[in-house]
Structure 1
Amino acid sequence: MATIKILQLSHGKIIPDYISAYAMRVNHLLDGNSWKICSVGGLILHDEKENNVEEYRSLMSTAYSVLKGNRSLEIAISKGILLRKKYINSVKALISEADAIIFEGPWEYSLFEKSLENKFVVYDAHNVESLLRKGNKYHDYTEEIEGKLVQRSNLLISVSENDLKYFKEKFNPGNAILLTHLLKNIEYQWNGENSTDIIFIGSIYGPNIEAAEFILSLAKTMPDFQFHIIGNVNTHGFPHKPGNVKFHGLVQDAEKDNLFRNSCIALNPIFTGGGRNVKMIDYIMHGLPVISTEIGIRGLSQYDLSGAVVVEKSENFREAILKLTGNRDKLKSMSDNTLKLKEKILATESSFNAYSIISGEYEKWKSGH
């Protein structure tokens, strides 16, 4: 099979690749086989090129979206509001060279729709974006542009079975498959059996901000525990942080692994969102006992989580923490069960190879085109 040039179009900060779950998905989707990744807007403060990634600042559109509110950054990008010609022209030039274009969300599609003639188009659906905007003024617009991309795509890939089912029922895509996040089998040693440290990880994203606020409130009632929050969710600013909460910000993998390893429990108090909750996979890969809300386990419905994950309503998190930490044998058993769950997930998903799948679908499309 010949090597094909695949261009990924995304938004927001992609360098470094661990800045968010979205960035990790974009960077690792093709496992090193991406030709180019091009991103715009959000926290990008200056144009930057690193390896195969190009980032373009759009400070005006980002400022516009802050003033408008209602999660309007992506909307501004999709309408080309205050985007620089340098970015637009660069992407058009890359599209002309590429064999296949992956849209990492529906936002860039309308900008470059007219440049996609005779191009193989993939929609990598991290979520159902319109469902995330229920009650938002841009819901109908989001549903419209997402629907157009789904129907134009030669291949739709979804990270969760529930999202895939929704896309099939709502938009009837011609070619749609489940392709979860790329997983690697790395051995971790959990040492949190006697710890009082509790961990949460999250990027600067609405549901994570809400979760962090919840954890701050919870921590105030649990002074005997130390709560650690990893990720750039800290940039939101939390002025009333109690003394037993530490924000670590963005950390390298080694530091993150050490914090995970020495925590007794991971929390996932997520109340909204779509797709698969990537932090759950991270927790499971590290063998951490987890307490999560029901929506926090989305994208894992095909697995039996009993014995590894405690699913509770938010008002019961405090009681669940005390119950688990009051029975350390139970906590150790949960970690053992989490590692068994990890093996089941790896056995099912580690063989997924996005590049091979996309290349194969591209060759079939090309031969009949």
Structure 2
Amino acid sequence: MHICDIAPFGVYPPRGGGHSRIHSLNLQASQRGHTVFLFSQGIRKFELEFPLKSWTTQINEGYTEYRYVSMLSLAAAFFTGSAGAPPLFAGDVLGIMRPSILRREVLKSDVVKVEHPWQVDYVKSIAGDLPVVVVEANVECDLLQQTLNRRVAYSEYLYRKAVDKEQSALSLADAVVVTSSQDKETIKQEFDIKGEVHVIPNGVDVSLIHPVSTPERQREKERLGFSSRKVVLFTGSGHPPNREAVQHIVKMARELPDVLFVVAGRVGDFFTSKRNVLFTGYVEDITPFLGAADIAVNPVTSGSGTNLKMLEYMAAGLPVVSTVTGVRGLQVEPGVHALIRGLGEFSSAFSTILEDDDLRETLSKNGRTLVEETYDWKKIGGRELDILHQLMRS
């Protein structure tokens, strides 16, 4: 099967949860003998070079990313990003520029995936009778309501455009993929949808992330300079819900001065380290920090979709304290796979976990078992391929 996947942002190398989902599923498909051509649009800050030019990355024999770069794409992304909105006009840019490589690869494919709603109108206009799947990693307009910067004069215009584009995409799609049953119910209530809605959850590579022994944890702490301190870990990109979560972590840290709170990822670029709060900024490899942590935390109170960080925490065998929002869409049972608490109860939950060996062991084993059985990318990748095959046959 030849799959053409289209994304409104650069994917490889993955630098966040959204990138990881796209890359992991494409990788699974290519490793099973399918051909994947990923057309991604735009450029990330760390990739910015002049003169601007598009480029190709051969990820493996069957998986290629073509990064389409143009000044118009950058200008459109800056316009929307300045208001805290996603690249709503990525498809409009394609309609103006009409890159020949995209048309050629779409018409060569057996099935087309479009990540997020923003490019669907244009893709449908060139896809002919090919089946087009829209991947809703979030209920986009619900998320935008939470993250949009209302102080920007044109923010309401962007919100209305987002609603129109999401509705158009979902009505045009031959099938829709969401990350949870919760999101499936939400989009069916909020939008008119033509195609069937499938749940393909987020996942984790359980062969790369795994629990460590107590001596291994101590060695990682020493290597990272954490000494013998108890470590509470939060990971995240610069996504607004993550920035909001860090503000809660800073408050928790004041209540537990002997605990080191480590915030790993680009969300730290928005903050300055405190006495017992360390912001690492972007890290190439999260596994050393997972290995050094005693507890993982997810105090998010907004957002949409599901949190990949939760799956990474549990794959590492870490006991987790999370809000209800942090586990939305996941099959996490309170007290079985994680402790679910209100923000005001997090500090006492940390103390409970650190003092109760049996609870710590139970949460660790149950969380790891859950991701092995339900959220392993290998199993999830097979489910997505089944859906794509069904669409081809229909």
Which TM-score applies when normalising by structure 2? Answer: 0.80
- Whose helix proportion is higher, 1 or 2? 2
Q: Which residue of 2 aligns with 1:93?
A: 104
Q: Deviations over 1:110-146 (max 9, x none)?
A: 3333212222101111111111122652333222212
Residue 79 of structure 1 aligns to a residue whose secondary structure is helix
Q: Which residue of 2 aligns with 1:37?
A: 38
RMSD of aligned residue pairs (Cα, Å): 2.9
1:338 maps to a residue whose letter is G
In 2: Cα distance, 1:327 partner to 1:247 partner: 28
1:53 maps to a residue whose letter is E
Matched, 1:175 2:196: yes
Deviation at 1:88, TM superposition (A): 3.3
Residue 309 of structure 2 aligns to a residue whose secondary structure is helix
Residues 277 and 297 in structure 1, CA contact (< 8 A), matched pair in contact too: yes
2:267 maps to a residue whose letter is V
Which TM-score applies when normalising by structure 1? Answer: 0.85
Residue 6 of structure 2 aligns to a residue whose secondary structure is strand
Residue 99 of structure 2 aligns to a residue whose secondary structure is helix
Matched, 1:262 2:292: yes
Identical aligned residues as a percent? 21
Q: Deviations over 1:188-231 (max 9, x none)?
A: 32536986011111112111122223323332443211222222
In 2: Cα distance, 1:328 partner to 1:347 partner: 27
Distance 1:324 1:148, change over 3 A: same
Matched, 1:337 2:366: yes
Residue 107 of structure 1 aligns to a residue whose secondary structure is helix
In 2: Cα distance, 1:198 partner to 1:230 partner: 11
Residues 298 and 326 in structure 2, CA contact (< 8 A), matched pair in contact too: yes
Distance 1:209 1:61, change over 3 A: farther
Distance 1:35 1:108, change over 3 A: same
Q: Deviations over 1:56-91 (max 9, x none)?
A: 33566545654663223412324329x983x73432
Matched, 1:293 2:304: no
In 2: Cα distance, 1:127 partner to 1:73 partner: 12
Residues 273 and 279 in structure 2, CA contact (< 8 A), matched pair in contact too: no
Q: Which residue of 2 aligns with 1:106?
A: 117
1:122 maps to a residue whose letter is V
Q: Which residue of 2 aligns with 1:77?
A: 90
Unaligned runs of 5+ in 1: none
What is the correspondence of 1:261-340 to structure 2 with a 5 Å cutoff? 261-300=291-330, 302-340=331-369
Deviation at 1:182, TM superposition (A): 4.3
Residues 110 and 392 in structure 2, CA contact (< 8 A), matched pair in contact too: no
1:48 maps to a residue whose letter is W
Residues 272 and 295 in structure 1, CA contact (< 8 A), matched pair in contact too: yes
Residues 180 and 305 in structure 2, CA contact (< 8 A), matched pair in contact too: yes
Alignment length (residue pairs): 354
Distance 1:343 1:41, change over 3 A: closer
Distance 1:93 1:279, change over 3 A: same
Q: Which residue of 1 aligns with 2:2?
A: 5
What is the correspondence of 1:212-251 to structure 2 with a 5 Å cutoff? 212-235=246-269, 237-238=270-271, 240-251=272-283
Q: Deviations over 1:141-181 (max 9, x none)?
A: 22221222222222211111111122333324332211113
Residues 7 and 39 in structure 2, CA contact (< 8 A), matched pair in contact too: yes
Distance 1:89 1:306, change over 3 A: same
In 2: Cα distance, 1:59 partner to 1:220 partner: 45
